[in-house]
Structure 1
Amino acid sequence: MKVIHHTRPQADVTVNGVTITAEAIAAEAQNHPMPRGKPGWAWRAAAGALVLREILLQEARARGIAPAAIELEADKWETEDEALIRQLLEEAIAPAVVDEARLRAVYDAAPDRFRGPSLFEAAHILFPAAADDAQARAAALERAHAVLAELRRNPGRFSVLAAEHSACPSRTNGGLLGQLASGDTVPEFEAALATMDEGSISENPVETRYGVHLIRLDARVRGDTLPFASVLPQLRAAQEKTDWVHASRAYVQALTGRAQVTGIDLRQTSWLNAQEPA
């Protein structure tokens, strides 16, 4: 692959003679928020994404693929370019043959990972704050720490303090949430429950999209270990996805290696080497 560097920032890029303008790259950069301390990252990421798209479209057209858009959801269809890229990858990347014995070895190495839903009985005190409101979050955390300090002195006051401070309707019942199954609560809340001992109160306030919680775990019943046959479809799907990602990356790298690209060093693009540029 021949790469020619431009000295000025935000220059045009070409792919096998097809120009991707700096204006198009700047527009695409809006979809790539810049990480802190990485000036120029958004432009490089946007340029890399457009280069990849152009390489794939050129290959699809060279193969004579006719776009056949599919409906993604009700009244929302693929664009012609999206259809071409999807069809190219379907044609070029053969489905991997998953070795069931390999999946069995994964299961046997840690069967405890594969359990049915756990059941929890818990109570909480909610201090509401939107996830994007830093001031409200800070105030909620301060209130939660103050109440937690009181709970450490007198855990038996949980119900009373829930009635006084919680913004959840469960406050009228001492913060009791009843029986919860895996998946009934947001992931952050469930993760906290999974690490707590029965009868304990969370060591620190727990933040979720709803605000800040103090949690008491009253009881837990862990789900039974699931038999291999019942988790096999899940394991197979995960392995097929992993294999497809590896195969598609190798395919893209091969196409890129044959392309003549000017204006950007593709070694700095995360989609090519599976890591973010420094």
Structure 2
Amino acid sequence: MNKRLLVLVALSGVSLWSCDQAGKTSAEGAIVLPPVSRDDTAVLVNGRPISKQSVDMLATEIAQRRGGEGVPKDKIVDELVKREILRQSAEKDQLLKDPSIAARVDNAIRMTLSQVAAENLLKKLTPTDEEIRKEYDQRVGAMKASEYKARHILVEDEKTALDVIKRLGKGEKFDAIAKKLSKDPGSKNNGGDLGWFSPDQMVPPFANAVIALKNGETTKAPVKTDFGWHVIQRESSREQEAPSYESVKPQVQSFLQSDKLQRYLDEQKSQAKIETLIKYDAPAAGKPGQPPAAVAPAATGAPAATEVPDDNDESAEAGGPVEVEEETVIEEQVPPEEEVPEDDTQTPEQPE
């Protein structure tokens, strides 16, 4: 069985090795990485360092993703060594001379830097307790949701539904008729009982009919929906209180941070010098193949998650590459994945 490996992980940073100091840029203006001292190096691969921080960072990410369950660091080091070997292979084969590969690497670097930039900005855009409370009061605190408990009998035509209403008027039991005549397989055997539901869970004609009834009442006329004709009996109703401030405070804070970041990006975009050299026409809405629209970075700013197998993982025993999943703060903008055969060469498929 093949394991997936993002070749972008192996390739990203191929052009970032010729650096002198942290924070400096190359002649082309690209960001370069600081050198790794021998004291900070965990392992050398053909003279190339893999830092202790890289090992520790990957170990932390995996432990967080697994709910605190870590992976032995020797396996993490082994995975990083394999990635470095692939990276050096890419350099040797001068893969960056291929414009399509260079574009993939550029997008991978842009993705990572945009994520860390968003994380840094989110720290500065943390809303105050006053702002969170105000947002809660406006959007959540005043909300009350009505729920209803009802039964129904679903039949195929209006004539049958009218006959059901007459039989109910003569004293026949609702649940007995439902068990005999209803076409709804989900509620028929329960005497038409639908349990508790909110109006938005039902189609509008049905929901409106339930809302219009009083507790204990049955519809005096059949209700038509796309499913057929309904006779409805509302049994009870209740008001659901809004969730408490403390229970939803993290979600409200996340929403406000996302909103602040979106407004910041909109402002920066309006001030940026943007020259459109190629104009791409947006496809009509709803057409097949329409690409997802780029949206603002997610409020959580969560770091990319990377998975390393545990002791029982088949790929680890076979020496195969580890499955890696990369996420980006730009929602739905996921880098392409490449299949890597689990053989002795560990050579990724050549890009198309």
TM-score between the two structures when normalised by the length of structure 2: 0.37
- Structure number with greater Rg is 2
Q: What's the TM-score, normalizing by structure 1?
A: 0.45
Q: Which has the higher helix share?
A: 1
Q: Of the two structures, which has the highest relative contact order with CA contacts closer than 8 Å and spacing of 6 or more?
A: 1
